[in-house]
Amino acid sequence: MSVAFASSSRLAVRTVELRDRRPLLSHLPAAAPLCWLRGGDGLVAWGEAARAELPAEGDPRGGRRFSEAARLLRDLFADAEVDDAVGLPGTGPVAFASFTFDARSNGSVLVVPSVVAGRRDGHTWLTTIGGRGPGSHPEALTAPGAPLRPVGPLTWGPGSLSAEEWCGAVGAAVDRIRGGGLDKAVLARDAFADAERAVDPRTLLGRLAAAHPECYTFAVDGLVGATPELLLRREGDRVESLVLAGTRRRGATREEDAALAEDLLASDKDGEEHRYAVESLRAALGPLATEVAASPEPELLRLANVQHLASPASAELRPGVSTLDAVAALHPTAAVGGTPTAEAVELIRELEGMDRGRYAGPVGWIDAQGRGEWAIALRCAQVSGSRARLFAGCGIVAGSDPQAELAEADSKFRVMAEALTDR
């Protein structure tokens, strides 16, 4: 694999603090926005100072797209001329990236934007990357973009498999698991929504951020979503993660909600699925870290539409381990692939009837010090012009019921379906 940035000129990078306290999303233009927000803090960006597309790999266990991305960024950032007056994670040169779920799929992308607006710990800043610019005042570079466009009427269409066909795939996976070939596989569905004109990604981002402030609202190269699944956060040598596996919908009343939560916490099937996910993280990070700690028992994470079993975890990375080394080691987690990983990924490829692309792959940002945040691209859609392709997946174990898994997938589609729907 030999990859180079589309722009390889030496970068001039300048970060200044801003007085502007408007919501970060208000700065974005409509064309190809980049975004990473949670609770109003994070980064939004636009333009391309450098871009690289990482090709598919022949080996399903391949991780070269991650190591190649790390090499490209290391070389580019090492040669950059940087003036950073703020000095927080996410200041100075920053890259956004989104990787495919399967190493054999094309589509992994790495973008160093031209302009980044960020907010953290009460500070707001602006970073310009590339040339010296026209000499405009920094505040002028974050002037409000064009008005947001409503999505308009939608035509909904089936995905790669019908509901009946997908239930058949779930049944086949259960049979394979019961036969002893593997312990768990995560099967996903897709669906299509077609609008009458190009969808404005900023409209979706605003709706997602407002409805799901506890999630990570993201946009990279048309992949837009709001995911609760923190894969990795790094500052210094310490990394944090949040393992999610096991799901119930939210109840219509307080009593129903509590009953669903109790059922989730008591469920052998969901507990088994969650244990596989925690063990997967321990096994992946163990060779890269001096210690890996995770909660002994899962807690309940309640989101707007669903509730999950959740286990916070942390690790201290060994010297010389890069952020993307850790991301590569963790992907795919048992929460989006299965257990054992290699067998589960092959079963997914056999039964899903589609290429996931970047759905369920790592998405996030990284700065020149290796600091950054990475999530799993869930609750998302690939937006291309007037078409949105939605994704949702479920963990399948020996006790899974196809109709129950179909209902769970439908509840996960709802996040993006509501973001696409005008009110």
**What are the residue numbers of the active site?**
184, 229
Question: Considering only CA atoms, which of 101, 2, 9 is closest in space to residue 53?
Answer: 2
C-alpha 404/C-alpha 6 separation (Å) is: 46
Q: CA-CA distances (angstroms) from residue 327 to 114, 229, 288, 333?
A: 25, 13, 11, 10
C-alpha 77/C-alpha 75 separation (Å) is: 6
Alpha helices of 200-353 — where are they, by DSSP H?
201-211, 254-266, 268-285, 323-330, 341-351
Q: Which two tokens stand for residue 176?
A: 């394979």
Question: Considering only CA atoms, which of 119, 121, 105, 150 is closest in space to residue 352?
Answer: 105
In sequence order, what are the beta bridge partners of 13?
82, 129
How many Å separate Cα 90 from the centre of its chain? Answer: 17
How would DSSP label each residue in 88-152?
Answer: STT-SSEEEEE--SSTTSS-EEEEE-SEEEEEETTEEEEEEEES--S---GGGGG---SPPPP--
